[in-house]
Structure 1
Amino acid sequence: MKKIKEIKIQNFKAFQREQVFSVNGKHVLVYGNNGSGKSSLFWALYTLLQSSIKEDNGVQKYFRKYVASDKATHQTLKNVFMEDNEESFIKLTSIDTETKHEETFTISHDLINTNDDANTLIQELNIASDFINYKLLHNFYRASHKQEVNLWPVFERDIFPFLTEGTQNWLDVIIKAPTLDVPRTPKGAVASRNRKQLYIDQIDALNEKIQNLLNEISGHANKFLKDHFFEGKDVIKVSLSFDKKFRFDLIRNRIWEDNKQGHRFDDLHIKLGVEIYDDTIPEKWRAIERVQSFLNEAQLTRIAIGVRIGALRTRPLASARFKILVLDDMLISLDLSNRMDVVRIILNKEEKEDLKFFDGFQKFILTHDKGFFNLIRRNTDEEEWVYFNFSKDEKDSSAPKIKEDKTPLQKAIKNFEEDEFDACGNELRKEAEAILTEYLDPDMKKLNGDFETLSSKLEKAFNQLTGQRHQKFTQRFLLDLDLAKLKKIKSDYSTDGTLTPEEKANLDSIKIRLFDFLIEFNEKKNRKELLITETKDILDRIMNAASHHSENPLHREELKSAITKMVELKEHLKHD
């Protein structure tokens, strides 16, 4: 399996001087305010992956010096506040998780080694990866109340560019042939009738090909919606119909020219059909017209996510050895409960078999919502994730400030090393909160519940552990034992003539199981319960003292012991 080890970006969009992201094969979670560079990271990754299927001049245009009078430079993405002679590049270093072999790929004006047919690793990464940003959901239901929802603009901007056929994305496939222009004579006139008919046949084949893709996407979307948003129940189903298609007269007007976008969006139409389950009518499904007027935002957003995930499922991902999933504020319009539904799905918190295709992605989640960032962080593991904080003052032209965002435990250790003992105690309290929240709610389903104190969570965790101990003992012994025979274990049953050899062997087995069980519980279960008790003591002696004014000073050895206990508590509860 391949992973991204490091990303370096210089003089590209919001980034100025070289910015290094050392991710070491981990998933990435980014928080940043608007304009802080999150989307620049999104587009840097996308641009590098897409470069693998482009000619050099199609990549160099992003790194040229901007000249107002030269339209060939107007697509440059070099940072406008940097000097013209400053180098601009994006570099990605991959690492093989088994062999530890590393490779570095670069795109710039002078060096491009991502599109070399002798090494197709970035092509493979491009084919298997996916990028989803906040525009997708907004564009799904932006039509006015009197209009049908037309998803052609959504597919053109937010879906086709991220789907691949062979080594090309679907948008390039559609544009290059045969919709770029109709056949013409050397003087520019429309070609003869015979050539025209052959061309129309090609157009019809393309239209059918697009409809087949839409059918496949809607099939995956409906399964996803039913299984993961509606608990296996029939509630909503969608269809996608390419009902205003490419035709000769439309293409003759050169619809891909820059000034023809509005015309193209009017003349091409992908209809979103939505039906609601209604068992009061014979056909059971009721069609909803103008869905943006009659469905709420949460329902529309679920449909949009279902369609987007449906598109992702059309791709052959199982055998891919290198793939990333990049989400840029995808859930911005959802309330907390619906956001966490989606996060549970993407992180596959419940380890569902049909969501395991998400597990193979190296994930990049970007958000401007600090609360959402903290929720995902508390429910992910720093051994598998790295966290970044982007910030930028919008009043000046400076580059974003980027720092790795440490966990409370990491901050506690740093504070301890710097003799900041009160701050260390406060961070330990936050770490205990995070550990217990994850343990008590591993599937993130109780996030909207009433506030609970740390003491209450400690008590619940203790009761849960002791309850598990009793349940495990009951399952292992009390359900299958003859009490009269069990009492004979205390005696020298090996000489008891009333017992058959089989019954004596059974008692031997029970005796061994019982002692093994007692040893296991003393080694593991008791340690977990003891750690909870010790954490209660730490709360009273250190965490509370750090949070409130106290005459009792925090001592180095107590804090050092408390840090060790937090590490141990996290490790034990994680593997419970």
Structure 2
Amino acid sequence: MKLHELHINDFKFFSQVEGDSPLLKIDGNHLLVYGENGSGKSTIYWALYTLLECSFKKSDDEVRKYFKKTGDESLVNIHATGTNNTYVKTILKDALGNPKTYRVSRKSSDMSIRANTDIRESNMASDFINYRVLFKLHSSKHSNKNNLWNWFLEEVFPYVKKSSDPCLIEFEALKEGPTKFLDLNGNQLFPTASLQDAPSDEEKIFYRNYRDYKQKWVTWHFWLETFLTNITTRANDLINHDFKYNFKIGLNIIKKFPTFQATDDKIKWTDPEIIISITEYEGIQNPAIKKPHTFLNEAKWSAIGLSLRFAILETRLYTADLKILVIDDMILSLDMCNRDVLLDIILNNYVNDYQIILLTHDRFFYELAKSKIAQNGIANWKYLEMFEDSSGTFPKPLIIEKTNQISKVWQLYHGKEFSMAANCLRKATEKLCNAYLSRQERINVNYSVKNLHEMLEAFRTKGMANGLNQNNLIKLIEYKNRILNPSSHYDIETPLFETELKRAIETIEALSIEANINV
């Protein structure tokens, strides 16, 4: 099944919407979103993450805390009154168009999301990766140890399952220690190894609590060692073949069984350490690199983080109603070379197994992704752009589907974003001129590229000769100074500017249709 509609109501930056009105119609496509800072782009990430993650919550209150107006963990829109029903809803459809709807909110009727088998399976099969993955990893470069435990704990393990449950559920249970028992005097005690030789059979029987706990501790850490071995193998493959770096890493754990006395209130727990090492560098086996995190530059350190994260993604070999890969602003810590590799990895490895939702605030990366998608001939992508709509009482997202430049201009215009609409119209005009004029017609006699005014003059001359609408060609030059010149936007709030902008859009749209050019 594929995600077709995403409904978000009074959740984070998204305010109240009309009843049953989908905020995003994805229609089963992959989704590429450009969103300027403050546009609410990341709300898409957190809405999907919250809906899927709530399937593993142990109580209704653990779900409701996200959808109540008050509380430190509230995700309700700050402008919501508290009487509105904050919710996230998805509509999935199979190949035949048969729908399935999932919804999460504070309502009792939506608590069925907890323990919902289909949503749990979708959560296990999907993955969410954002900028914090690399940000937290780069923070570890300032430490004095090669220990990546905290990075794994915060940015990796929350997304990793052991058998059918998140791996941290069992880990947190282990930190509580073995199950206590009542001794013959009625005291609650931790079972210890000494119970094996206890004088009474009544107490000796509780040795099994200690034995079972130790076995669970050993089993969990064996699972961790196996998991690290598996992802290291795949990560090294990505480092060498995709990022083209000539080094390999190793991950080893240092573990210590907790200590406790029978009468202790709590056990003395020590988190394991995950030690990173360089096992091969430029063809040299086991080089004497004591501190890989300071020896490697940021580009290589980023390559390690991405390779490990994608290696972990490939361990999630689950079938489910929904398999989505949501990536939000992963490029913040990446140089240009690694940005290119990141796109190649996503487009080459995951578009067939996952429905991709790629979010970015970087315009260049957005255009680069569009170009690569087109070059690779990958079908079923939808392109959206998001801006902050400040025309109302409080800001809200303005979402524009990027079909062509003129469509974007109209959506900005109707959203009262006149300055952005005028700037976008200028780009549409430049695109029209570039497509209509030959290369020779776009350059001056001294081989310099013509500016917009010169190109419009050439467009008018050629258009007149080819029989394009003369009236529109004359207006085009007039609108260049009054609308298409950014310095003319000082009176942007006046009704006159709004009217002239509308006429300019209509004129350029009419010329593009007449010239049979899609702008």
TM-score (ref. length: structure 1): 0.65
* CA distance in 2 between partners of 1:556 and 1:16 (Å): 33
How far off its partner does 1:245 sit? 4.7
Q: Which residue of 2 aligns with 1:455?
A: 439
Q: Which residue of 2 aligns with 1:404?
A: 400
Contact (CA 8 Å) 1:328, 1:365: kept in 2 or not?
yes
How far off its partner does 1:343 sit? 0.8
SS at match of 2:139: coil
The 5-angstrom pairing of residues 409-558 of structure 1 reads 409-411=405-407, 426-427=427-428, 429-430=430-431, 455=439, 541=462, 549=477
What amino acid is the match of 2:335? Answer: D
SS at match of 2:399: strand
How far off its partner does 1:345 sit? 1.6
The 5-angstrom pairing of residues 204-353 of structure 1 reads 204-230=218-244, 235-245=246-256, 247-249=258-260, 267-279=271-283, 284-317=285-318, 319-320=319-320, 322-348=322-348
Q: How many residues align?
A: 433
Contact (CA 8 Å) 2:401, 2:408: kept in 1 or not?
no
Which one of the candidate residues 38, 41, 48 is aligned to 2:41? 38
TM-score (ref. length: structure 2): 0.72
- Structure 1 segments of 4 or more deviating over 6 A? 420-425, 537-540, 545-548, 550-557
Q: Please identify, of 135-144 and 98-107, the stretch whose mean Cα deviation from structure 2 is larger.
A: 135-144
Q: Which residue of 1 aligns with 2:355?
A: 362
Contact (CA 8 Å) 2:232, 2:251: kept in 1 or not?
yes
In the alignment, structure 1 residue 89 sits paired with structure 2 residue 87: yes
- Which residues of structure 2 form unaligned runs of 5+? 194-206, 415-420, 444-457, 481-503
What amino acid is the match of 2:223? Answer: K
Contact (CA 8 Å) 2:33, 2:366: kept in 1 or not?
yes
* CA distance in 1 between partners of 2:384 and 2:427 (Å): 20
Deviations 1:8-32 (A, max 9, x none): 1122223331371121112222233
How far off its partner does 1:152 sit? 1.5
SS at match of 2:101: strand
Contact (CA 8 Å) 1:141, 1:149: kept in 2 or not?
no
Which one of the candidate residues 58, 74, 77 is aligned to 1:76? 74
SS at match of 1:240: strand
* CA distance in 1 between partners of 2:369 and 2:155 (Å): 25
How far off its partner does 1:421 sit? 12
Question: What RMSD over aligned residues (CA atoms) do the two structures have, in Å?
Answer: 4.1
* CA distance in 2 between partners of 1:423 and 1:109 (Å): 41
Which one of the candidate residues 49, 59, 68 is aligned to 1:64? 68
The 5-angstrom pairing of residues 148-167 of structure 1 reads 148-167=145-164
* CA distance in 2 between partners of 1:13 and 1:413 (Å): 27
- Which residues of structure 1 form unaligned runs of 5+? 67-72, 256-262, 349-354, 436-452, 460-536, 568-576
* CA distance in 2 between partners of 1:15 and 1:329 (Å): 19
SS at match of 1:17: coil
SS at match of 1:371: helix
How far off its partner does 1:63 sit? 2.0
Q: Which residue of 2 aligns with 1:12?
A: 11
* CA distance in 2 between partners of 1:557 and 1:83 (Å): 45
The 5-angstrom pairing of residues 100-119 of structure 1 reads 100-110=97-107, 111-112=109-110, 115=113
SS at match of 2:322: coil
Deviations 1:315-341 (A, max 9, x none): 214x55521011111121112232122
How far off its partner does 1:147 sit? 1.1
* CA distance in 1 between partners of 2:460 and 2:142 (Å): 56
What amino acid is the match of 2:407? Answer: K
* CA distance in 1 between partners of 2:233 and 2:508 (Å): 62
Which one of the candidate residues 549, 556, 560 is aligned to 2:513? 560
Q: Please identify, of 148-157 and 300-309, the stretch whose mean Cα deviation from structure 2 is larger.
A: 148-157
How far off its partner does 1:148 sit? 1.8
Deviations 1:42-68 (A, max 9, x none): 1211111112233451322322342xx
In the alignment, structure 1 residue 121 sits paired with structure 2 residue 118: yes
Q: Which residue of 2 aligns with 1:141?
A: 138
Contact (CA 8 Å) 1:422, 1:546: kept in 2 or not?
no
* CA distance in 2 between partners of 1:173 and 1:414 (Å): 54
How far off its partner does 1:120 sit? 3.4
In the alignment, structure 1 residue 3 sits paired with structure 2 residue 16: no
What amino acid is the match of 2:341? Answer: D
* CA distance in 2 between partners of 1:223 and 1:547 (Å): 59
Deviations 1:139-160 (A, max 9, x none): 1131355612322111121111
What amino acid is the match of 1:337? Answer: C
What amino acid is the match of 1:112? Answer: D
Deviations 1:335-380 (A, max 9, x none): 22321221122112xxxxxx2x442211111222222223223444
* CA distance in 1 between partners of 2:72 and 2:40 (Å): 21
Contact (CA 8 Å) 1:105, 1:114: kept in 2 or not?
no
SS at match of 1:310: helix
What amino acid is the match of 2:246? Answer: V
